[in-house]
Amino acid sequence: MNTNFQSWIQTQMEELKAQNLYKSPPILESPQNGRVKMGGRMLINLASNNYLGLANDPRVVQAAVQAAQEWGAGAGAVRWLGGTNTLHETLENKLAEFKKTEAVLVFQSGFNANSGTIPPCFGEGDVIISDELNHASIIDGVRLSAAKYKKSDGYVYKHADMNHLEEILKRCGEFKKRLIVTDGVFSMDGDIAPLPDIVSLAEKYDAVVMVDDAHASGVLGVNGSGSTSHFGLYGRVDIQLGTLSKALGVVGGYIAGSALLKKWLINRGRPYLFSTALPPAAIGALIKAVEILQTDPQPMERLWENTRFWKASLEDLGFDTMGSETPITPVFCGDEGKAQTMERRLREEGVFTVSIVYPTVARGKARVRTMPSAMHTRQDLEDALTAFHKVGKELGII
């Protein structure tokens, strides 16, 4: 091994630790549920994206087992080289019906869906206008494009600021195509994009709209079908990205839009062209998860009941939840060291949650991110609130 390289890594790691930015993944010893086992202890789980509990729903698990038994452990190839089977076709048709679009193309992850869609659709002579708080997968997808996009060139608008967005659009008339891209629900703040205003501006200035609904899927809209449904904007959003790994509980991502868009991405979406397809077990589980979303309203009802209780209770205790409108509920700390101390102390008090620090959020904007879900009982949440009150007082956050 190259000793200079190893020494460089060590130095960088020490700098991260000194700045309270070092991360180490927690290891779970039980399935995702309202409480999970870690280090031999049961902790209240407020860190999971498993909004509806579908990751370990017996119906979804059985569908995964059945698909693996029938189709095998792996897809065996990339999608266009023989890795597509009738399960993929069934899932994509169900998702298109769910999203009320002409077509859907499934990718290996939501991250891949962004990087597989933005570059082939927008390039030389185009411009991409992005919300400053967009997810890293959007940012990386944009960077892979040959379009103009840099903040330093004035193509990133202040978060949810429609006046700023319009100012940018006014000076982008010379570009061949204009893309406005936004999260539907912002993953670290929990607020909802002003999608009706974005769509109206896009129609006024002849721009394309792309919405990343990773955290709106299963949370907003009819049966959890996302932010386009939530605002009644069917047919007015050109590209919708959804995840299959959060509320749907498995893995993968997809793009919903026109049939023509799907055909183009099959031919030019690089993750689709060069990565092996999702395994049959995942596809079988996802088909069942979509069916549950369409027919069983109870998980989504429990999610929102728990969300309303959790947010109101935290605010009553004096915590700043940063204007969150969705189950994503940040607890503002500001200082990175304080956020990491709060994570550690909460875990000692029996609550599993994660501190969010730079570069995931801006410096000085550190927070502990909490995620109530359909899996939690009222007792789970009340016990967690007792711990938050104790630790918040201890650290001077409330």
**Among 198, 176, 169, residue whose Cα is nearest residue 122:** 176
Cβ–Cβ contacts within 10 Å for residue 299, how many? 20
* Strand order, beta sheet including 366-370: 329-334, 366-370, 354-356
Pairing verdict, β 329-334 and 351-352: unpaired
Catalytic residue among 187, 225, 355, 373: 187
Kindly give the interhelix angle for 58-71 and 280-295, rounded to the nearest 10 degrees: 140
H helices of the chain, in order, are 3-18, 58-71, 86-99, 110-121, 136-143, 162-170, 195-204, 227-230, 259-268, 270-274, 280-295, 298-317, 336-348, 378-394
Residue 174 CB partners (closer than 8 Å, separation 6+): none
Q: Is 215 a catalytic residue?
A: yes
Spatial distance between the Cα atoms of 206 and 173, rounded to a whole number of angstroms: 9
Complete DSSP assignment for 283-338: HHHHHHHHHHHHH--HHHHHHHHHHHHHHHHHHHHT---TT--SS-EEEEEESHHH
Helix (H, G, I), strand (E, B) or coil at 355: strand
Catalytic residue among 88, 215, 262, 376: 215
* Strand order, beta sheet including 127-131: 103-107, 253-257, 239-243, 208-212, 178-183, 127-131, 156-157
Q: Is 217 a catalytic residue?
A: no
Using an 8 Å Cβ cutoff, are 176 and 123 in contact?
A: no
Query: Distance between the two ends of the chain, CA-based, in angstroms?
Result: 49
Catalytic residue among 94, 135, 246, 376: 246
Cα maximum dimension of the chain? 61
Strand partners, 344: none
Catalytic residues: 187, 215, 246
